[in-house]
């Protein structure tokens, strides 16, 4: 079992160590207190984050960014499909081919996994100088 201390868990989750400790004390982060230290099993953190390996046709994907969600709408238009997912309190929109949506038989309410593989993430904010 791969155990992480608070510092290692904070680097792994990209959170401040104090936030890690607070979440663990609240029971919102799976951890164990040993003396004055908190220890976290990497597999528990991965499971909590939905990073369990996704099996596709009997294969595991190397992509770590696997987000589990529920389909809230599917709009087919020409050769493309717009799929809206609910991920907890967040939403995600994916544009895929119509053929892929039909092959998966996507319907509202389906539990799915969005696999994100990208080299960059862009962030925008209204009112910023162009």
Same domain for 70 and 43: no
Work out whether the CA dihedral 96, 45, 119, 86 comes out positive or negative: positive
pLDDT given for residue 19 in this prediction: 92
* pLDDT band at residue 77 under the 50/70/90 scheme: very high
- The domain in which residue 86 lies consists of 66-115
pLDDT given for residue 79 in this prediction: 92
**pTM tops 0.75:** no
| Nearest-5° Cα angle at 49, 33 to 74 | 160
Same domain for 111 and 71: yes
Q: Above 80 in pLDDT, residue 59?
A: no
Same domain for 109 and 75: yes
pLDDT given for residue 129 in this prediction: 56
Same domain for 111 and 70: yes
Which of 88-123 are b and which e, b meaning 16 or more Cβ less than 10 Å from the residue's Cβ? eeeeeebeeeeeebeeeebeeeeeeebeeeeeeeee
Average pLDDT over all residues of the chain = 83
Domain count, the chain: 2
Q: Above 50 in pLDDT, residue 128?
A: yes
Q: What whole-number percentage of the chain has pLDDT above 70?
A: 80
Provide mean pLDDT across the span 43-68: 67
Contact 35, 54 (CB under 8 A): no
Is residue 86 included in any domain, yes or no? yes
pLDDT given for residue 57 in this prediction: 47
Q: Which residue has the higher pLDDT, 34 or 121?
A: 34
Is residue 128 included in any domain, yes or no? no
Contact 121, 81 (CB under 8 A): no
Is residue 95 included in any domain, yes or no? yes
Is residue 124 included in any domain, yes or no? no
């Amino acid at each position: 079992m791969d155990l992480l201390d608070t510092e290692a868990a904070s680097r792994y989750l990209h959170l401040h160590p104090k936030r890690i400790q607070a979440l663990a004390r609240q029971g919102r982060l799976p951890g164990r207190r040993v003396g004055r230290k908190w220890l976290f099993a990497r597999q528990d953190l991965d499971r909590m984050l939905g990073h369990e390996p996704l099996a596709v046709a009997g294969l595991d994907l190397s992509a770590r960014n696997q987000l589990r969600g529920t389909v809230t709408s599917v709009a087919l238009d020409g050769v493309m499909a717009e799929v809206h997912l609910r991920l907890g309190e967040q939403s995600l929109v994916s544009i895929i081919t119509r053929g892929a949506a039909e092959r998966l038989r996507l319907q509202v309410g389906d539990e799915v996994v969005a696999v994100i593989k990208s080299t960059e993430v862009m962030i925008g904010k209204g009112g910023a100088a162009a």
